[in-house]
Chains A and B, each alone.
Chain A
């Protein structure tokens, strides 16, 4: 074992620690250990004088390992690491003992607390003796980006990135850009024309000199890691196909959603009753400027049914978010197209969460829409009306606001079908190495604090492919993802954290157990050498591979077996 010169600093933290823990006692115990050159207490180690004291001691006494027994390392580890760096030694030669949050603040018996503080400090001292110098790496960051999906979300991301000065490859599966918004007539709640929205976006994308649009294309493979991806794209038109390959630094997945198949709901008669249509089919009518029944007659009664395929135990339990406002939009569009038409809106709850939504709901009421509420698991039933009736169909509803079972006349029924994950979402997820939740939506890094990043560094998700959302939120996420990428590409390099796992090649038996254990696919296997190796840029240092390696060939930097064993010995001494 090497000889070290260890400095031990026990912080009193005012009275936070000193009130319960006898700091002098801890110092005394520390100074009796081998290798300890200096051991002292101080009122506030994290203060400037406190840090300067450490720096001075390192320089003057040649310390090469430092233990600070104080607050939680989650609080001040970076502070003291910087101090070490200032003093000229490797910042990873520091170890902290948590004698505040996990000692003085949670015990009241002074003797017992001091004993525990001694043990924790000793553990830190034994551990730090095994610390190795670690350096942060920098790898080049390719400024180009790949955007998968050419809908409103993908196009916004592409433009944002391109305007920021980066080259963007925009890959779209279909023959035209536009995605699902291109199938829509007007948007809620301001009734803007979707056509205008989309045509301006598409024009800008197609004319932008830094955006390379690849329609009728799919990404067939994505290799590499953040800053250094290689994407292979296949383009098919007619019988011929072509392949292109290029390097990108980051990827934005904006593949969107597909609508729920209404024929799965048998009690609505979709596919059997000719005048039961889906929301997208109605959009087609609106875009053509003709609202009519199957036989061309003008409908006198129109009914809208919410939550088709959503919020149900049978199909999907989630809410598809956009349908309530869309239904209100239809009610208002129908009233302006056919003022004499009676519109019924059959819903479970009215989700009017966004900006302008509540007012839009009010306008829907003022337009004399009849709102009828049904219970979540007590759906309405549609049947054909009799010959004497003045309508084509009758909808029976157990109406909750009145408590009555009623029958609504309807000439045209519009089913508000929900959003679903696309069939190819599994393939896309595997392609870029991200995960999907139980409903098939892509999983973000943190649902609240990090909604566009994923656990795979360099891959971002935006828009409806991550969860049902409307246009404002999709666009916001597109810009967020683009912003994140621009922030990274601006530096030109990417820092790889110094703490990662490393394979000692000699010890590796090529069993590949570690390959499967890694959640980040950060371990590659060299088939020729029959050895696995860690891609340090991708490794997050969780240690799963380290504990799983039967040969002990992988070591976790800064969390080696030797370090942890030493710490165990120390705390139990």
Chain B
């Protein structure tokens, strides 16, 4: 059986979660690999969430928020934008491929875009293979 990645998606309530819902009402099909967790704003997303997801077995983490300038809380997505490069740097230092964690802007009217993002990300993570964290953990468990 070929490898199917598990991806956790953190979606902000006002734009991207609604955009994902729109993909649903429009019956736009996309890859089933993303498990969505709703937050009110991408500003809420602590880098520890990303780490937790990766250590719990996720092969990738997708973060979706409102387009810059459109944040329901006016600047929340800018805060996410500021944290993101540091997060990516940290992941790289840990030996986790930066492509496993992705930040995208999806508005409430972009159902198709959400589907495209999910499909694209799933394909990339699939190509990268299982997350090294997961592999390491499994190995660790086996050794114990």
A: which residues have CB within 8 A of B?
A: 72-74, 98, 100-103, 105-109, 112-113, 115-116, 119-120, 123, 435, 455, 499, 517, 519-520, 540-544, 546-548, 556, 559, 561, 564-565, 567-569, 571-572
| Nearest chain A residue, comparing its CB with the CB of B44 | A543
Q: In whole angstroms, how far apart are the Cα atoms of A123 and B17 in the complex?
A: 16
Q: Which residues of A contact B37 (CB under 8 A)?
A: 123, 564, 567-568, 571
Query: Which one of A72, A541, A543, A548 has the highest number of Cβ atoms from chain B below 10 Å of its Cβ?
Result: A543
Beyond A542-B43, A569-B56, whether A519 also contacts B24 by CB under 8 A is no
Evaluate contact between B44 and A547: CB separation under 8 angstroms: yes
Q: Which residues of B contact A567 (CB under 8 A)?
A: 37
Evaluate contact between A107 and B74: CB separation under 8 angstroms: no
- Nearest CB on B from A22, distance (A): 14
12 CB contacts below 8 A, A to B, read: A102-B24, A106-B23, A106-B24, A112-B32, A123-B37, A542-B44, A542-B72, A544-B75, A546-B44, A547-B46, A547-B83, A572-B53
Q: Which residues of B contact A561 (CB under 8 A)?
A: 46, 48
Q: In whole angstroms, how far apart are the Cα atoms of A101 and B20 in the complex?
A: 8
B1-43 with Cβ < 8 A to chain A = 6, 8, 13, 17-18, 20-21, 23-25, 27-30, 32, 35-41, 43
Evaluate contact between B35 and A123: CB separation under 8 angstroms: yes
Q: Of A108, A115, A541, which is within 8 A of B40 by CB?
A: A541
Q: Which residues of B contact A435 (CB under 8 A)?
A: 74
Q: Of A74, A101, A519, A569, which is within 8 A of B74 by CB?
A: A519
Q: Which residues of A contact B52 (CB under 8 A)?
A: 565, 568
B45 at interface by CB-CB < 8 Å = yes
Report B59-103 CB contacts with A as 1/0, cut-off 8 Å.
Answer: 000000000000011111001000100000000000000000000
Evaluate contact between A572 and B23: CB separation under 8 angstroms: no
| Nearest chain B residue, comparing its CB with the CB of A548 | B79
B: which residues have CB within 8 A of A?
A: 6, 8, 13, 17-18, 20-21, 23-25, 27-30, 32, 35-41, 43-46, 48-49, 52-53, 56-58, 72-76, 79, 83, 115
- Nearest CB on A from B34, distance (A): 9
Sort A-B residue pairs by CB-CB distance and give the 9 closest, nearest first: A543-B44, A101-B24, A544-B43, A542-B73, A571-B35, A542-B41, A105-B24, A101-B21, A547-B46
Beyond A100-B24, A519-B75, whether A572 also contacts B35 by CB under 8 A is yes
- Nearest CB on A from B77, distance (A): 10
Q: Of B57, B72, B79, which is within 8 A of A517 by CB?
A: B79
Evaluate contact between A107 and B32: CB separation under 8 angstroms: yes
- Nearest CB on A from B66, distance (A): 11
Evaluate contact between A544 and B36: CB separation under 8 angstroms: no
Evaluate contact between A106 and B27: CB separation under 8 angstroms: yes
Q: In whole angstroms, how far apart are the Cα atoms of A527 and B117 in the complex?
A: 47
Q: Which residues of B contact A98 (CB under 8 A)?
A: 21, 36
Evaluate contact between B28 and A568: CB separation under 8 angstroms: no
Evaluate contact between A106 and B30: CB separation under 8 angstroms: yes
Evaluate contact between B39 and A106: CB separation under 8 angstroms: no
Beyond A73-B38, A105-B27, whether A546 also contacts B46 by CB under 8 A is yes
Evaluate contact between A568 and B23: CB separation under 8 angstroms: no
Beyond A519-B75, A548-B79, whether A106 also contacts B46 by CB under 8 A is no
Q: Which residues of B contact A520 (CB under 8 A)?
A: 73
Evaluate contact between A543 and B39: CB separation under 8 angstroms: yes
Q: Of B18, B28, B35, B75, which is within 8 A of A106 by CB?
A: B28
- Nearest CB on A from B108, distance (A): 10
Evaluate contact between B21 and A519: CB separation under 8 angstroms: no
Q: Which residues of B contact A540 (CB under 8 A)?
A: 73
Beyond A112-B32, A548-B79, A572-B58, whether A559 also contacts B39 by CB under 8 A is yes
- Nearest CB on B from A520, distance (A): 8
Q: Which residues of A contact B49 (CB under 8 A)?
A: 564-565, 568
| Nearest chain A residue, comparing its CB with the CB of B12 | A542
| Nearest chain B residue, comparing its CB with the CB of A556 | B44
Beyond A102-B20, A105-B24, A547-B45, whether A568 also contacts B40 by CB under 8 A is no
Further contacts, 20 of them, CB under 8 A, given A519-B75, A559-B39, A569-B56: A72-B17, A72-B24, A98-B21, A100-B24, A101-B21, A102-B36, A112-B32, A435-B74, A455-B73, A455-B74, A520-B73, A542-B73, A542-B76, A543-B40, A547-B45, A556-B40, A561-B46, A567-B37, A568-B58, A571-B8
